[in-house]
Structure 1
Amino acid sequence: MKPHLLAMLLVVLPGLSFCQNGQHPNILFILSDDHSAPHLSCYGDPNIHTPNIDAIAHHGVRFTQMYTGSPQCVPSRATLMTGRNAVDIRMTRFSAPLPADIVTFPELLRSAGYYTGIQGRSYHLDGSGRQSPEAAAVFDEFQLRTFHRRVDFLQTGPDEENLNVMRSFLESVPDSKPFFLWVNYSNPHRPYTAPAEFLPAPGSLVLPPDYPDTENLRKDLAAYYGEIQQLDEQVGLLLNELRDRGLMENTLIIFMGDNGAALLRGKGTLYQAGLRVPLILRWDKGIKQGTVSDALLSGEDLAPTVLTIAGVPPDKQMSGRSFKELLHGGDYAATDYIFAQRGAHADMLPTSTNAFDLSRSVMGKRYKLIYNVLPTLSYTPTDMNGQAFWRELVALNNDGALDASFRRLIFARPRPMFELFDLEKDPYELNNLYGNNELASQQQQLLAALNKWMIRYQDFVPLPIDLNNVKK
Structure 2
Amino acid sequence: MPCPISRRQVLAAAPAIRTTAQSSHVNILYLHSHDTGRCIQPYGYAVPTPQLQKFASEGVLFRHAFDAAPTCSPSRAALLTGMAPHSCGMLGLAHRGFSLNDPSRHLANYLRSQGYLTALSGIQHETAAGRVPELGYENVLKPKSSRGPDVAGAAAGFLLSRPKQPFFLSCGFFETHREFPVPGPQDDPRYILPPAPLPDTPETRQDMAAFHASARVLDASMGAVLEALERSGLAASTLVIVTTDHGIAFPDMKCNLNVHGMGVMLMMRGPGGFAGGRVSDALVSQMDLFPTICDVAGVPKPAWLQGRSLLPLIRGGKNEIRDWLTGEVTFHAAYEPQRSIRSRRWSYVRRFGSKRTPVLPNCDDGPSKSVWLEHGWRQRPVDGEALYDLIFDPSESRNVLAQYPEEAEYWRGLLEQWMRETNDPLLRGDVPPPPGARLNDPDGLSPREPVREYD
Q: Per the shorter chain, which TM-score range?
A: 0.7 to 0.9
Take 2:160 and 2:227, find their aligned partners in 1: how far apart are those partners? Answer: 16
- After TM superposition, the structure 1 = structure 2 runs for residues 159-198 of structure 1, keeping only pairs within 5 Å, are 159=147, 160-170=149-159, 174-175=163-164, 177-193=165-181, 196-197=184-185
1:109 partnered with 2:111: yes
Residue 433 of structure 1 is aligned with which of 385, 395, 400? 400
Q: Classify 1:209/1:202 alpha carbon distance in 2 versus 1 (closer, same or farther; 3 Å).
A: same
Paired letter, 1:191: E
Query: Cα–Cα, structure 1 residues 194 and 102, in superposed 2: closer, same or farther, change >3 Å?
Result: farther
User: Given that residues 271 and 296 in structure 2 are in contact (C-alpha distance below 8 angstroms), is that contact kept between their aligned partners in structure 1?
Assistant: no
% identical aligned pairs: 29
Residue 415 (str. 1) matches residue 382 (str. 2): yes
How many angstroms does 1:164 deviate by? 2.8
CA contact (8 A) 1:190 1:383 kept: no
Instruction: Give the secondary-structure state (helix, strand or coil) at the position aligned to 1:277.
Output: coil
Which position in structure 2 is the counterpart of 1:229? 216
Give me the TM-score of the superposition, normalised by structure 2. 0.82
Residue of structure 2 equivalent to 1:406: none
CA distance in 1, matches of 2:243, 2:163: 27
- Is 1:250 matched with 2:237? yes
Cα distance 1:285–1:390, how it changes in 2: closer, same or farther (>3 A)?
A: closer
**1:330 corresponds to:** 317
Q: 1:146 to 1:212 in 2, by over 3 A?
A: closer
CA distance in 2 between partners of 1:108 and 1:155 (Å)? 19
What is the distance in 2 between the residues matched to 1:453 and 1:463? 14
Give 2:43's aligned amino acid: Y
CA contact (8 A) 1:100 1:146 kept: no
Given the superposition, is the C-alpha separation of residues 284 and 59 from structure 1 closer, same or farther in structure 2, using an over 3 Å criterion? farther
In structure 1, the partner of 2:75 is 76
8 Å Cα contact 2:247/2:261 also seen in 1:
yes
Question: 1:195 & 1:218 partners in 2: Cα distance?
Answer: 11
Shift of 1:210: 2.5
Shift of 1:384: 5.0
CA distance in structure 2 between the aligned counterparts of 1:209 and 1:279, rounded to whole angstroms: 20
**Using a 3 Å threshold, how does the CA distance of structure 1 residues 54 and 219 change in structure 2: closer, same or farther?**
same
Displacement after TM superposition at 1:380 (Å): 4.3
2:308 equivalent to 1:309? no
Distance across 1 between alignment mates of 2:221 and 2:182: 12
CA RMSD across the alignment: 2.4
> Which residue, 246, 252, 270 being the options, matches 1:283?
270
Residue 346 of structure 2 is aligned with which of 364, 367, 379?
A: 367
User: For 1:382 and 1:173, how far apart are their aligned partners in 2?
Assistant: 45
Q: What is the CA–CA distance in structure 1 between the aligned matches of 2:216 and 2:397, rounded to whole Å?
A: 29
Gaps of 5+ in 1: 1-19, 130-138, 140-144, 347-354, 398-409, 465-472
Instruction: Measure the CA separation in 2 of the matches of 1:180 and 1:263.
Output: 32
Q: CA deviation at 1:371?
A: 0.5
Q: Judging changes above 3 Å, is the alpha-carbon distance between structure 1 residues 328 and 59 closer, same or farther for their aligned structure 2 residues?
A: farther
Partner of 1:25: 26
What is the CA-CA distance between 1:173 and the residue it aligns to? 5.5
* Alpha-carbon shift at residue 91 of structure 1 (Å): 1.1
User: In the alignment, which of 212, 217, 238 is matched to residue 204 of structure 2?
Assistant: 217
Question: Mind listing any 5+ residue stretches in structure 2 that lack a counterpart?
Answer: 1-20, 430-455
Give the drift of 1:204: 1.2
Q: Deviations over 1:392-442 (max 9, x none)?
A: 332233xxxxxxxxxxxx566431111111112211112111121xx2332
Deviation at 1:187, TM superposition (A): 0.4
**Whole-angstrom CA distance in 2 between matches of 1:434 and 1:295:** 26
More displaced stretch, 27-36 vs 455-464: 455-464
Mark the CA change 1:151 to 1:372 in structure 2 (over 3 Å): closer, same or farther.
Answer: same
Q: Which moved more, 1:445-454 or 1:157-166?
A: 157-166
SS of 2:243 mapped into structure 1: strand
| CA positional deviation for 1:105 | 2.2
Query: Which residue is equivalent to 1:345?
Result: 332
Q: Partners of 2:156 and 2:196 in 1: how far apart?
A: 43
2:139 to 153, 156, 172: 153
Alignment partner, residue 400 of structure 1: none
Counterpart residue number, 1:357: 336
1:388 to 367, 391, 395: 367
8 Å CA contact 2:82, 2:305 repeated in 1: yes
Q: Secondary structure at the match of 1:223?
A: helix
1:21–1:196 distance in 2 versus 1, CA, 3 Å: closer
Counterpart amino acid of residue 170 in structure 2:
W
Q: Give the count of matched residue pairs.
A: 403
CA contact (8 A) 1:305 1:324 kept: yes
Kindly provide the CA deviation profile for residues 176-197 of structure 1, in whole angstroms up to 9, marking residues without a partner as x. Answer: x221101000100001025514
